[in-house]
Structure 1
Amino acid sequence: MFAVTVRDHIMIAHSFAGEVFGPAQALHGATFVVDAAFRRAELDADGIVVDIGRATEELHTALEDLNYRNLDEHPEFAGVNTTTEFLAKVIADRLASRARDGRLGEGGRELAGITVTLHESHAASASYELAL
């Protein structure tokens, strides 16, 4: 399986409901480094998985309405704990939609999968892997 990975970052604020989250129940900030890996079994006619420039642009677009936002106030996430794992899935789903509708180029329609990893720090990250 071939893969191309691009990277961006977001800065968000949010809080969590549930005692399991301890002090993170209070409003707090997070900065995530976001990696999006695009996978396919065979390279396309141009010898690539997907155009890196387009992938970078589409990742940035997928993150725009999250960056510098309090996710507790984001209408899409009402009543949801916006955990790192949850956000990885949201971003992967957004990228999959962009791949399917051709915004990653024709090669994007042939992807086998997308994995999004959010790095909370140098020591912790969470990922979501989506088969296409």
Structure 2
Amino acid sequence: MYSLTVADHVMVAHSFRGEGFGPAQRVHGATFVVEAEFRAPRLDDANLLVDIVAARVELRRILDSFDYNNLDTLPAFAGQNTTTEFLCFHIHALLCAALAEGKLGEGGRAVRAVKVLLRESPLAWAAYEAEVPGASKA
């Protein structure tokens, strides 16, 4: 299985609901390093897994939809605790949609799985990894 990873970062404000979150129930900021890993069993005719420039552009486009925002105020996150784990899942879904739309090049159609990892600090991170919905097993 081949893999290719692109990275970027995002800065947000948010708060959490629930006593278990302690002081994080108050609005606070977070900066995440975001890694998106694409996996495929084969390369395209140009020996690419996905177009790396297109992958970087698409990841940035997704992050721009909430970068420098208070997530508590965005309709996309209404009613959600925007934990690191949840944000991984959210970004994963958008990257899978981009793959389905062909935004990561022809090689992107062979991608079987995507892993999204968000690093909150050098000591703490979370990830979500799953197969791409509708990906061919061929």
Give TM-score, length-normalised by structure 2: 0.94
- Residue 88 of structure 2 corresponds to which residue in structure 1? 88
Structure 1: 4+ residue segments shifted above 4 A: none
Deviation by residue 1:58-117 (Cα, 9 ceiling, x = unmatched) = 100111111000000001111110000000010011011000101111111110111000
- Residue 34 of structure 1 corresponds to which residue in structure 2? 34
- The whole-number CA distance in structure 1 between the counterparts of 2:110 and 2:48 is 11
- Residue 124 of structure 1 corresponds to which residue in structure 2? 124
- Residue 114 of structure 2 corresponds to which residue in structure 1? 114
SS in structure 1 of the partner of residue 121 of structure 2:
coil
- Residue 58 of structure 2 corresponds to which residue in structure 1? 58
- The whole-number CA distance in structure 2 between the counterparts of 1:56 and 1:91 is 13
Q: How many residues align?
A: 132
- The whole-number CA distance in structure 2 between the counterparts of 1:7 and 1:90 is 16
SS in structure 2 of the partner of residue 120 of structure 1:
strand
- The whole-number CA distance in structure 1 between the counterparts of 2:109 and 2:98 is 9
Give TM-score, length-normalised by structure 1: 0.98
Q: Residue 130 of structure 1: CA displacement?
A: 2.0
- Residue 135 of structure 2 corresponds to which residue in structure 1? none
Judge which range, 82-91 or 101-110, deviates more.
101-110
- Residue 67 of structure 1 corresponds to which residue in structure 2? 67
Q: Residue 123 of structure 1: CA displacement?
A: 0.5
- Residue 2 of structure 2 corresponds to which residue in structure 1? 2
- Residue 16 of structure 2 corresponds to which residue in structure 1? 16
- The whole-number CA distance in structure 2 between the counterparts of 1:131 and 1:20 is 31
Q: Residue 37 of structure 1: CA displacement?
A: 0.3
CA RMSD of aligned residues (A): 0.7
- The whole-number CA distance in structure 2 between the counterparts of 1:109 and 1:93 is 15
- The whole-number CA distance in structure 2 between the counterparts of 1:65 and 1:42 is 31
Q: Is the 8 A contact 1:35 1:117 kept in 2?
A: yes
Q: Residue 29 of structure 1: CA displacement?
A: 0.2
Task: List alignment gaps of at least 5 residues for structure 2.
Answer: 133-138
